[in-house]
Structure 1
Amino acid sequence: MSSDKDRDSSSSGPEIATPTTSGPPSPQLSASQQYPTSPPSGESHHHILILISLIYPATIVLGSLFSIISPIGQSASYFSRKNNIFNVLFVKIGWFWTTVAFLVHITNLRHPNVTHARSKALIRWGLATLAWILVTQWFFGPPLMDRTFTVTGGSCRPNYDTQPFTLASKSEQAFTSAACKGTGGKWDGGHDLSGHAFMLTHASLFLWAEALPRLVDSMWRGTVGPRNLTPLMAEWFGVHWFVWGILGLWWWMLLMTSVYFHTWSEKVSGWFVALFEWGILYAYMIPLNPQARRLFGTPTV
C-alpha cells in the first residue's frame, strides 16, 4: 500500500506555477499623464464665448424692463446722472481702460512663443480699435453713429434763448454730436444709436475673447489636474484682477444705461453694431478660417 502511494505521488511530478498575467506589467503613470493639463481648445472656447455674448442683450432687456416696471424715478439714482464718477472717469474714456486691461492680459501670457502671440494679439486689438474709431470718432468725417443720426432726420438745434447768436449759428452747421454740444446746441430729432451700449458691449466682447482661453486653462488644470483649484484661480484673478474688474464695471454700466438712458431701439442698435467686428473676427473667421488664424492668430494662454 505504501509503495502504491509513493508511486502515485512521484508520478504527479513537481507543481508548476501558472502565470497570472499574459504580458508585462503596466508602467506606472506620472501625475501629468494621469491628469491632462491642456484645457479644451478651439471649438470649446468658441461655444463658451457665444454663450457669454448672450449676457449683453439679456442685460439690455433686463434693464429696459426694469425701467418700465420700476416705480423709482430717475432722480432717485446716482447712476441716472450723466456726471456720476463712473461715467465721467471710466465710460467716457472707456476704450482707454479697455486697452489698459488688454495690455495687462498680454503682458502675462504664458505662450511658448510669447513675442509672436503678443504681436498677433496687438493686430486683433488694432482691428477692434479701428471699429471703435469708425463708429464713435471718425468715418471720413462724422462717425457712423452721427451719420446714422443725421440720415434718420436728426440735426443740431440751436437754442436762441440761451445761446449767443454766433454760437447758435454754429450749432446749425454742426454735423457731429461733439460739435453740437460744444456750441450749446441740442442733438435732436434722429435715431441716436447708443454709444454707451456700443462701446460697453464691444469692449466687453473683445476682452472676453482675448482673456477666455487663459481663464479656461486655469479652471481646467485646477479641476482635473493634481494641483488644487484654489491656487490656480488665485493665479488667474491675481494677474487679471484688473481685466475682471473692467469687465464687471462695463456690465454694470451697460445695465445702468439700459435702465436710465435711450429708447429700446437705440440700445438694441448700439448692441447690434457692437457685434460686427467681434462676430466677423472672433465668432467666424478665427474659428472657421485657417488663413485668418495664420494672419490674426488666436487668443491664447
Structure 2
Amino acid sequence: MSSSAPTRRNGHNNTTPSTKPPPPTSTQSSPSPTASPLTALLPTPSEIALLLTYPLLLLLGSLYSTLSPQTRSSPYNPVTQSHPPSTAPSYFALKKNLPNTYFVKIAWFWVTTSYAIFLLTHPSHVMGMSWWMLLMTATFFHTWFEKLTGLLVAMAGIFVVYFLPRALPAMRDIVGMPGV
C-alpha cells in the first residue's frame, strides 16, 4: 500500500469530513455561570423566611392590639406594664404565658445559646477565636502584669541602646557609644 493512498478504517475513508463536532479543547470552554462572592453572604429563601418571622409577629400583634375591641377596652396597669390577670383580654396578654416566659423573659439565654452555636459551627470561627485570644492575652498582660511588661520594655530598650552597639560595629556607627 502506498503512503499517498488514503487508509480505510472500519470501512470509512479517513479523508471524508466528520459530521460530529470536535470535542472541546482546554482553550474552548462552555459558558458556565459564575457565582459572585457576595451571593455566598446573602440569605437563602428559608433564612429570609426565618428572619422575617419575628418582625411579622410583632407587626401582627401590634395590629391586633390596636384593632381588636377586646384589647382596646381592657384595663391596663402602666406600673406593672400588664393587664390584671382577672380581666386580661386573652391568655397571651398575661405576663406568665408560656411564649412570654420562654421566648421573651429568657431571651438572653436563647440569643446567647444560638450565638455560641453559630460561633462553634461556623468555619471561620478559628480566625475569630485567634483574634479574641490575642486580645484577651494582651488585656491579661496589660492589667495583671503591667509592671512586668513595663520592665521588659525598659530592659529591651537598655539592651538595644547600650549593649547592642558594643557588639555590632554597624549599629555603633549609627547610635554611637552611649554611656562611654
Question: TM-score by structure 1 length?
Answer: 0.24
Question: TM-score by structure 2 length?
Answer: 0.36
Greater fraction of residues in helix? 1
Larger radius of gyration: 2
User: Larger relative CO (CA 8 A, sep 6+): 1 or 2?
Assistant: 1
